[in-house]
Each structure stands twice: as C-alpha cells, then as structure tokens.
Chains A and B, each alone.
Chain A
Amino acid sequence: MQAQTNIDNLESQAAHEAHDGLEIEQLKPGQEAWRRLKKDKLAVAGGCILIAVVLVSVLAPIISTHNPNTVVNSNRLLPMGTPGHILGTDHLGRDMLTRLLYGGRISVAIGFTAVGIAMFFGITIGLLAGYYKGFFDTLVMRFIDILMAFPYVLLAIAIIAALGPGLLNAMIAISIVGIPYYARIVRGTVLSLREQEYIEAQKALGASDLRILFKHILPNSLSPIIVAATLDVGWMIIAASGMSFLGLGAQPPTAEWGVMLSDGKDFLRAAPHISLLPGMAIFIVVLSLNLLGDGLRDALDPRLKQ
C-alpha cells in the first residue's frame, strides 16, 4: 500500500513536471527572460535600488522642505547628524540631503537621456549601414573608426571644447561618444541576420525594407542592445558628473552630483561629507545598474553565464 502511494506520488510529480515543462516551452522569449531575471537576487536588488533612487529624486520637493540653492551663511559646514540637516550642510550652508535628492534628478535623467540619444542614432546608423551595405556603410563605418580613435572621455572633452562648457553641451557630448558603440553592435547583428532565410522569405513575400528592418531585424538584435544600454547608463552618469567635476558640465550653483563633489574638494579636511556623499550616490546608482545589467545579460542569453 505504502509502495503504491509512493508510485502514485512519483507519477503525479512526473506529470506535474511534464506539465511545467510544457508551460516553459509556451513562454515567449521575453517572459522567459523575465522569469530568469526575477530569480537573480542581485539583479532584483539592483533594480529595486534604482527604482528607489528614481522615486526619491522625483519626490525631492515632498521629502525635503529645504531649497537646494538657498545659501544660509550661519549654517556653513554643519556635520552629518545635525538636527534639521540629517546629512549636514555644505560650505554655503545648503542642506546636503536636499541637494543630493535634487542632484539625483539631474544625474539620473542625464544618464538615461544620453543613452537614449546614443541608442537612437546608433541603432539607426547601424541598421542602415548593415542592411544597405555599400558606400553608405563604408562612409559611416570609417567615420566611426575615426571617432573610436579617441579615448572616450577625451572625445567628450573635445566636443565640449567646441560647444562650450555647460550641462546640456556635456550631455550632447557624452551622447555622441556613445553612438559608435551602438552602431557597431547593431551593424554586426544586422550583417549576420540579413543573410538568414526568414529575411529572404520576407523579401520574396514583398515586404518593404522598413518592415523587414523594424519588424524582423531590430527585435532580433535587441538583447545585446538592452544589456549594453543598462550598463551604459551607469557609465554616462559617471562621465556626466566627471565633466561637471572638471568644470565642463553643469555649473555651480546647480545641485548636480559632479558639481557637489567638486564643491567639496576644497573642504576635505573640515567637511569631507560634502564630497563623500555625492560620490557615494553616484557609486550606488552605478552599482545597481551594473547588477541589473549583469542580471539582464544572464537572463537574455543564459549561454553567457559563467
């Protein structure tokens, strides 16, 4: 009797597993990746931290009643833990917590916008160059080779040198620097995809180039782009705040993490928190993006997992 129950159990378990297996097969690739991503604790942690940072930045006026730019000379260089100024104040008596929250708005927004711009132009160029090949491809790829002959930050600095220092110009500069990266990823994928039979079949059916590019080729080259973009947002945030740190990006008194770091440079001994806090904020955001990006890579292409 006992044995029979065990066999029954095993059978029902096997049937259950088979049923599960059937379900997995029916999942769309996106859903399957999402399932794998949810299981990756570090990636989930990264995603949660990122959402939290975006939320507190957006809700900055509700969380803090201070104005990020109000100078209060009597409150200069207050240490962390001061009542009313939990993270202290800077050399002009401005509340650090408030400035960090407002700074997050600029830094995170710049990171995402710059990647968005770089992706838009990079993907368009990559698709066209890879699909049409020929003269356009040669011309564009040679130009990209020249752009890539510059170290990344140097190219951004060169573009800022031309446009003039400023937040918007720094964002444009780092976006341009990012374009070749996406163009090359997309072009590579398109070159291999355009020779596939299903594309030939679409052509034979009379599908337009636009339809083939956006409906059949682009979706199939998305995985590496999504991973690259996630990791890139972090890089762009570091690059943009680096430009502000150098005095080439956002300008004082803007509450931006790079500007705040640079402000604190002269007060390392008396008030190290002025530099340490914004740097910590950049670090946390970049770390969370990297955790999420690594998780996405494993989820979208499990073969790459080490």
Chain B
Amino acid sequence: MLKYLLKRLLALLPVLIGVSILVFLILHLSPGDPAQIILGPKATQQSLDALRHQLGLDLPLHRQYFQWITNVLKGDWGRSIQLKREVLPLVITRFKATAILTVFAAFIAVSFGMLAGIISATRQYSFSDRFLMFMALVGFCLPVFWLGLILQIIFGLKLGWLPVSGMYPPGQTGFGSMLPFLILPGISLATGSMAEIARMTRSSMLEVIRQDYVRTAKAKGLSQRIVTYKHALRNALIPIVTVVGMQIGFLLSGAVLVEIVFAWPGIGTLMVNGILARDFPLVQGTILFVATTYVFVNLIVDVVYAFLDPRISYN
C-alpha cells in the first residue's frame, strides 16, 4: 500500500509541473503589461522599466518561470496588485471558506444522491423510482447559479427562513452559527452532483441486484435491508466512487459561481475579482492553488478506489 502511494505521488510530479507551467504561460502570454497595470496609465517609461526589472519581466521566459516557481515553492506567491497583500495567506484564508462549502455540498450530494439511487433501484419502475429519476434529470439540468437565485428568492426573501447571502470569515465562528449561511449555497452547489450520483447509484445497484449472490443472500432468508446495504451496495460502490471523484471537479468549479451568487467569501470571488481587475499575481495564485488541490483530491479518490476494489493491484 505504501509503495502504491509513493508511486502515485511520484506520478503526480510531472502533472504538477505541467500545471504550473500552464498557469505561468497562460498569464504571461496574455496581453497587457503587469507593470503598466500596477503603475497606472500615467507612469513614465523609466519607472515602467525599473518595475519590469524588479519583477523580472525583462528576463527570458524560461528564466522567469524558474524564478517564479522557486519563489512559489519557498512560499512567496507574490503580492496582490489590487488588495496590496501577500497572495499565499490571502488564498489560504479564502480557500478555507470554499473548502467548507465544497465539503458540505459533497456531503449532501453523496448522502442524498446515494439514498435516492438505492430507493430507485430497489423499487425499479415504481412511482418513487420514476419520480426520483425525473427529479435527478431536472437537478442535472439546472444551472447552479439560477438555482441559487431561486433558493434566495423562496427561502431568503419570501419565507425569510434563511439568510440570503454572506458568511462569517472562516475560523471566527463555530459550525453551528455558520450552518444557516451554509444551507442555501450548499444545496445549490450539491444539486447537480446529487443528481448524477443518484443516477449512477441506481444503474450500478440494478446491475448488482440481478447477480446470483444477491439472490442467494435473499434465499438464505436475510432481510431486504441487509441484502441491499450489506451485500449489494458494497459491490455497487466502485462505479459510484468514480462518479463521486469526478463530481469533486464540478463542485470546485460550481463553487466559483455559487460564491458569487451568495457573496460567499471564498477563493472563487477572489479569483473573479482578480480577473476583472487584471490582478495577475492574485489570479495566478488562486488558479494554481485550486488546480493543485484538485490534483491531490483526485489522488485521494484513486487511493480510496484501490482500497475498495481488491481487484486493483497496488503494484
């Protein structure tokens, strides 16, 4: 197992290097001169040249990359032009809020999605199966930002049950007082993934339920509950885990949109504001951070996958 982990970690290295090169290139090949943006339109040529030299922008591209990546590895991610603060601490603080939202949404999506899928599969072609699968189709097609606005209108403005938007800065309060702020964005973000997980759970369970060993378990006189949850679900889990893994990318992506709708103080709002203000160091930092996190989360999913399916060899 340890060997497998090490091997997977080593395989990540080229991907991470590739990601960093891509993030670097995307922003360095883009039009617009960072020095000009920092100093404004009235800057003299002399001050522009001086700043370009200071930022290393007059070096050849590959040397700029090495300088940048060395600094990144040392923890120096540059300073935000707009917010005039160090990028790394800012990104980490904001990412905490995004992580809270994403994990909460993942929890909703996995638990309710799987439950819906199991109910559908065990009652195939019944009313509840058709209803749940219709809802899954609807949930799958709902634009996440529109769903967010609908929930805001119904539960925030009309009924007044939950706050319309906002959140405490992460770390300043406990989960209990955060929860009311978390429910609406969490549901908006979770719905699409929940639908996908429900559909996958249904089809995966249907395949397993028809197998001989499940019939044997039933014939032995085991209760439906034990057969479903202990015998069938276990083997149906493998494709479900794959889908859950794929959903993490969707959740992280969707989080950007949900954060804007709900004024959530996460990394998505930071990134979008950075792009609109052409704050290159900030944009670079946010994108690099999220992409790196995503790569590692995928590794964790793969490891869980190997753990669940004994047929996958660690070697």
Contacts and interface: CB of A to CB of B under 8 A. Distances in A.
Interface stretch (B19-27, B39-47, B59-67): B19-27
A31 to B, nearest CB: 28
A246 interface: yes
B245 to A, nearest CB: 12
A214 to B, nearest CB: 31
22 contacts: A143-B18, A149-B15, A149-B294, A157-B256, A157-B271, A158-B22, A158-B283, A158-B287, A163-B30, A234-B141, A246-B256, A246-B257, A248-B276, A276-B149, A276-B150, A283-B142, A283-B146, A287-B137, A287-B141, A290-B141, A306-B203, A306-B206
Interface string B269-313: 001101110000001000100110011001000000000000000
Contact of A290 (B14, B15, B140, B157): B140
Interface of B: 14-15, 18-19, 22-23, 26-27, 29-32, 137-138, 140-146, 149-150, 152-153, 157, 202-203, 206, 248-250, 252-254, 256-257, 260-261, 271-272, 274-276, 283, 287, 290-291, 294-295, 298
B141 A286 contact: yes
A238 to B, nearest CB: 5
Contacts of B31: 164
Chain A contact residues (Cβ within 8 angstroms of B): what range? Answer: 35 or more
B287 A159 contact: no
A157 B27 CA distance: 12
- Name which of A146, A164, A265 has the most chain B CB atoms within 10 A of its CB: A146
A137 B185 CA distance: 42
B291 A154 contact: yes
Interface stretch (A59-67, A74-82, A120-128, A267-275): A267-275
Given A154-B252, A290-B140, A160 B150 contact: no
A150 B152 CA distance: 30
Contacts of A245: 145, 257, 260
A264 B149 CA distance: 10
A159 B144 CA distance: 21
Q: Which 8 A-B pairs have the closest CB atoms?
A: A279-B146, A153-B253, A146-B18, A162-B30, A151-B249, A286-B141, A162-B26, A151-B253
B253 A154 contact: yes
A283 B253 contact: no
Contacts of B295: 149
Contact of A154 (B18, B32, B287): B287
B141 A151 contact: no
A146 B287 contact: no
B294 A151 contact: yes
Contacts of A145: 15, 18
A261 B146 contact: yes
A234 to B, nearest CB: 7
B45 to A, nearest CB: 24
